[in-house]
Structure 1
Amino acid sequence: MPFSSLPRPVAEAITERGYTAPTPVQAAVITEEAIGRDLLVSAQTGSGKTVAYGLAMADTLLGGEEHLPRAGEPLALVIAPTRELALQVQRELQWLYAKLGARVASCVGGMNIRVEQRNLSYGCHIVVGTPGRLKDHLERGNLQPGSLRAVVLDEADEMLDLGFREDLEEILDLTPPERRTLLFSATMPKPIAMLAKRYQRDALRIQTTSERESHADIDYRAMAVAPADIQNAVVNVLRFHEAKGAMVFCATRENVRRLSATLTERGFSAVTLSGELSQNERNHALQALRDRRARVCIATDVAARGIDLPGLELVIHAELPINPETLQHRSGRTGRAGKKGTCVLIAPYQRRRHAERLLRAANVQATWESVPSAEQILARDQERLIESLASVEIGDEDREAAAKLLEMRSAEDIAAAFIRAHRQSLPAPEDLIDSAPAPREREQVARPGFEEAVWFRINIGRNDNADPRWLLPLLCRRGHLTKRDIGSIRIFADETRFEVPSALAAKFKDAVRRTAEDGDGVAIEAAGDAPPPADRGRRPYQARPTGERRGPPRGPHRGPPRRRS
Structure 2
Amino acid sequence: MIPENLPPLLAEALSARGYETLTPVQASVVADDAKGRDLLVSAQTGSGKTVAFGLAMADELMPDGALDRPAAPLALVIAPTRELALQVSRELMWLYASAGARIATCVGGMDASRERRSLNQGVHIVVGTPGRLRDHLERGALNLAALRVAVLDEADEMLDMGFREDLEQLLDGTPETRRTLLFSATLPRPIVALARTYQRDALRISTVGEDRGHGDIEYQAMAVPPSDIENAVVNLLRLHEAETAMLFCATRDNVRHLHASLLERGFAAVALSGEHSQNERNAALQALRDQRARVCVATDVAARGIDLPSLSLVVHVELPRDAETLQHRSGRTGRAGRKGTAVLIVPYPKRRRVDMMLRSARIAVTWTPVPSADDIRAADRERLLTQLAEPVELDEEDNALGLRLLEQREPHEIAAMLVRLMRSRLPSPEEMLESSEPDRGQRGGDTRTGEHRPGFDDTVWFKMDIGRRQNADPRWLLPLICRRGHVTRDEIGAIRIDQNETRVQIPRAVAAKFAASVAKTAGQGNDESGITIIPADGPPPQAPRGAGAGAGPRGRKPNGPRPASYSARPTRPRR
TM-score, normalisation: structure 1? 0.76
Distance 1:452 1:490, change over 3 A: farther
1:71 is displaced (CA, Å) by 2.1
CA contact (8 A) 1:273 1:299 kept: yes
Separation in structure 2 between the aligned mates of residue 369 and residue 384 of structure 1, nearest angstrom: 21
Conservation of the 8 A alpha-carbon contact between 1:489 and 1:499: no
**Per-residue CA distance 1:290-332 (angstroms, 9 max, x = gap):** 2222211111111111221102110011112222221110111
CA deviations on 1:262-293 (whole Å, 9 max, x unpaired) are 11222211122222333333223222222222
* 1:425-458 residue CA offsets vs partner (Å, 9 max, x unmatched): 11111223459999xxxx944599x998446799
The residue number in structure 2 matching 1:27 is 27
Q: Distance in 1 between matches of 2:281 and 2:359?
A: 34
Partner AA of 1:496 in structure 2: V
Structure 2 residue aligned with 1:474: none
User: Within 5 A, what are the aligned runs for 1:387-536?
Assistant: 387-393=386-392, 395=394, 397=396, 401-433=401-433, 444-445=441-442, 453-454=453-454, 491=481, 493-496=484-487, 498-499=489-490
Aligned Cα RMSD in Å? 3.7
> Cα–Cα, structure 1 residues 97 and 350, in superposed 2: closer, same or farther, change >3 Å?
same
Provide the residue aligned with 2:9 in structure 1: 9
Partner of 1:334: helix, strand, or coil?
coil
CA deviation after TM superposition for structure 1 residue 261, in Å: 1.5
Q: 2:68 corresponds to which letter in structure 1?
A: P
- The aligned runs of 1:179-328 (5 Å cut-off) are 179-210=178-209, 213-328=212-327
1:55 is displaced (CA, Å) by 1.3
C-alpha separation in 2, matches of 1:260 and 1:55: 40
Distance 1:365 1:437 in 2: 31
SS in 2 for 1:95: helix
Q: Offset of 1:500 from its aligned partner?
A: 8.4
User: Aligned pair 1:376/2:380, yes or no?
Assistant: no
Q: 2-side partners of 1:254 and 1:501: how far apart?
A: 34
Code of the residue aligned with 1:130 in structure 2: it is T
**Are 1:455 and 1:499, in contact at CA under 8 Å, matched by a contact in 2?**
no
Q: Which residue matches 2:571?
A: none
- For 2:333, the aligned partner's letter is T
> Which residue type is aligned with residue 311 of structure 1?
S
Whole-angstrom distance in 2 between the partners of 1:535 and 1:155? 37
Alignment of 1:150-165 (within 5 A): 150-165=149-164
- 8 Å CA contact 2:212–2:362 kept in 1: the answer is no
Matches within 5 A, 1:50-89: 50-62=50-62, 64-89=63-88
1:89-118: per-residue Cα shift (whole Å, max 9, x none)?
111112222222222112222333333223
Residue 279 and residue 325 in structure 1: after superposition, are their counterparts in 2 closer, same or farther (change >3 A)?
same
Output the CA distance in 2 between the equivalents of 1:3 and 1:211.
20
**Deviates most, 21-30 or 175-184:** 21-30
CA contact (8 A) 1:453 1:501 kept: no
Corresponding residue number in structure 2 for 1:178: 177
Change over 3 Å in CA distance of 1:141–1:425 after alignment to 2? same
- State the 1:400 CA deviation: 5.7
Equivalent pair of 1:490/1:496 in contact (CA under 8 Å): no
Task: Report the equivalent of 1:108.
Answer: 107
Per-residue deviation, 1:207: 2.8
The answer to whether the Cα contact below 8 Å between 2:313 and 2:342 also exists between their aligned partners in 1 is: yes
Instruction: State how far apart, in whole Å, the 2-side matches of 1:458 and 1:273 are.
Output: 52
Q: Distance in 2 between matches of 1:230 and 1:58?
A: 49
Amino acid at match of 1:377: I
Q: Deviations over 1:222-281 (max 9, x none)?
A: 223333332222111111111111111112222222221211222211122222333333
1:260 aligned partner, one-letter code: H
Q: Secondary structure at the match of 2:274?
A: coil
Q: 1:181, 1:389 → 2: CA distance?
A: 56
The alpha-carbon deviation at position 376 of structure 1 amounts to 1.2
Distance 1:78 1:394 in 2: 48
Runs of at least 5 residues in structure 1 that lack an aligned partner in the other structure: 462-486, 503-521, 524-533, 541-565
Distance in 2 (alpha carbons) for counterparts of 1:417 and 1:537: 53
| AA aligned opposite 2:57 | M
Q: What residue is the counterpart of 1:143 in the other structure?
A: 142
Going from structure 1 to structure 2, the CA distance change for 1:436 and 1:168 (only over 3 Å counts) comes to: farther
Deviates more, 1:104-113 or 1:2-11: 2-11
Instruction: Please tell me whether the aligned partners of residues 107 and 128 of structure 2 are also in contact (alpha carbons under 8 angstroms).
Output: yes
Q: Residue 472 of structure 1 aligns with which residue?
A: none
Maintained 8 Å contact 1:327/1:362:
no
**Kept in 2: contact 1:212–1:363 (CA 8 A):** no
Conserved 8 A contact 2:44-2:211: no
Structure 1 residues 121 and 385, CA, compared in 2 at 3 Å: closer, same or farther?
same
Q: Which moved more, 1:257-266 or 1:106-115?
A: 106-115
Contact 1:106–1:127 (CA under 8 A) maintained in structure 2: yes
Distance 1:229 1:494 in 2: 20
Higher deviation after alignment, 118-127 or 306-315:
118-127
Cα distance in structure 1, aligned partners of 2:142 and 2:487: 68
Task: Give the aligned residue type for 1:491.
Answer: I
- CA displacement, residues 393-414 of structure 1 (integer Å, 9 cap, x when unaligned): 3647556654554443333322
> Partners in 2 of 1:172 and 1:386 — Cα distance?
59
The worse-fitting range, judged by mean Cα deviation, of 391-400 and 271-280 is: 391-400
Provide the secondary structure at the position in 1 that maps to 2:413. helix
Q: How many residues align?
A: 484
Task: Check 1:537–1:31 CA distance in 2 against 1; reply closer, same or farther (3 A cut).
Answer: closer
Contact 1:454 1:501 in 2 (8 A): no
Equivalent-residue separation in structure 1 for 2:213 and 2:480 (angstroms): 41
Which segment is superposed worse, 323-332 or 407-416? 407-416
Counterpart code for 2:290: D
CA distance in 2 between partners of 1:44 and 1:287 (Å): 26
Instruction: Write the distance in 2 (CA, Å) between the matches of 1:94 and 1:10.
Output: 11
Q: CA deviation at 1:5?
A: 2.7
**Partner-residue secondary structure (3-state), 1:210:** helix
Give the counterpart letter for 1:31 in structure 2.
A
Seen in structure 2, the aligned counterparts of structure 1 residues 221 and 453 have a Cα distance that, compared at 3 Å, is farther
Q: TM-score, normalised by structure 2?
A: 0.75
> Aligned partner of 1:432: which letter?
M
Change (3 A) 1:447 1:270: farther
Deviation at 1:490, TM superposition (A): 6.0
Partners of 1:192 and 1:535 lie apart in 2 by: 37
1:455 to 1:384, Cα distance in 2 relative to 1, 3 A? farther
Contact 1:26 / 1:49 at 8 angstroms: preserved in 2? yes
| Aligned mates of 2:189, 2:97 — CA distance in 1 | 37
Distance 1:377 1:209 in 2: 36
